[in-house]
Amino acid sequence: MFNNLPKKIQLTEVGPRDGFQNVKTFIPTGDKIAIIEGLIESGLTTLEITSFVSPKAIPQMADAAQICAAILGKYDGKINASALVPNLRGAQLAWDAGIREITCVVSVTAEHNKANVNRTHEESVQELVRMREALPDMNMRVDLATVFACPFVGWVKPEAVAAVTEKIAKTGIKKFVLCDTIGVATPDRVYNLTKFMKSTFPDFEFSLHLHDTRGVGMVNMMAGIMAGVDSFETSVGGLGGCPFAPGAAGNTPTEDVVNMLTDMGITSGVDLNRLLQVVALIKDNVDEPLNSHMAKAKIYDCFCPRQ
């Protein structure tokens, strides 16, 4: 059962975007940069480092360009840094800041797409087309939100996920992230949807972004691994949510994931002890309690990862 799992899992750290945009207090830019540097030094070299959104809508992300300047200036060519953008304007700002991969969010349900980006599906696809035409050299991936369930209309059928994916695929985008925006999926839903999407779109890349609102983040991730996914978005400290999805909270904590994978002999390239130092730094910067177990767990001297 657990003997045939992949030996390597790609983690994309989304804490600096999904996390920082959801904390109530603004984290000073210098502290953000120190945290991102810590994440990179711990081995997390694929990161969503910020988002280029309206500072009126999400003031926590007003320093996106400064973050990019600092991080890309120091690590350019050594890391895969992406940013989330809601529209062409954000994509252009990201390009100007040196970003070469962007994430755009399209929700599978029309209702959440309207609440999140104030667009119909057709308008979302049109915006993606405009971005691809204006920035042909920008790499693009799409976060498919509410793939399991929507806070406004309830459970979502896999066929609906495929239909929206099909529309987006016409723009040429082949990289998708299946997002459990409000964290209500359970392992069989994750396994079945992932298998379905991989077989329906065999040429596309799928990764998973699993909120841990109900304590199922880790077991859902394992279901995804069993379904053949080897790429996951996680968030240091378990920070995260969605400002436009009532009840969305708590991401799957990178440090909990790294602890589990490391003990199972699955490489993520991350040094757990160094990562835990970054978690301690985040604890100092965030008022609310972290959705992280490793942040609180005793670290024993009598263990090495495997024996």
The residue from 29, 66, 139, 186 that contacts a second copy (CB under 8 A) is 186
| Footprint on residues 1-60 left by a second copy (CB under 8 A) | 1-3
The interface region with a second copy, picked from 76-84, 122-130, 146-154, 197-205 by CB under 8 A, is 146-154
Closest separation in Å from C-beta 131 to a second copy = 32
- Choosing from 119, 141, 189, 209, the residue that interacts with a second copy (CB under 8 A) is 189
DSSP string, the chain: --SSS-SB-EEEE-IIIIITTTSSSPPPHHHHHHHHHHHHHTT--EEEEEE---TTT-GGGTTHHHHHHHHHHHHTTTSEEEEE-SSHHHHHHHHHTT--EEEEEEESSHHHHHHHHS--HHHHHHHHHHHHHH-TT-EEEEEEETSSEETTTEE--HHHHHHHHHHHHTTT--EEEEEETTS---HHHHHHHHHHHHHHSTTSEEEEEEB-TTS-HHHHHHHHHHTT--EEEEBGGG--B-TTSTT-B-BPBHHHHHHHHHHTT-B-S--HHHHHHHHHHHHHH-SSPPS-STTTSPPPSS--S--
Q: Could you say which of 104, 179, 242, 302 is catalytic?
A: 242
The nearer residue to a second copy, 153 or 163, going by C-beta atoms, is: 153
Nearer to a second copy, 30 or 289 (CB): 289
Our finding on whether 223 is near a second copy (CB under 8 A) is yes
Q: Tell me which residues are annotated as active site.
A: 242
Which residues of the shown chain bind a second copy in the complex (CB under 8 A)?
Answer: 1-3, 149-155, 182-184, 186-189, 191-192, 212-219, 221-223, 226-227, 246-247, 249-250, 253, 256, 259-260, 263-264, 289, 291-294, 296-298, 300, 302-304, 307
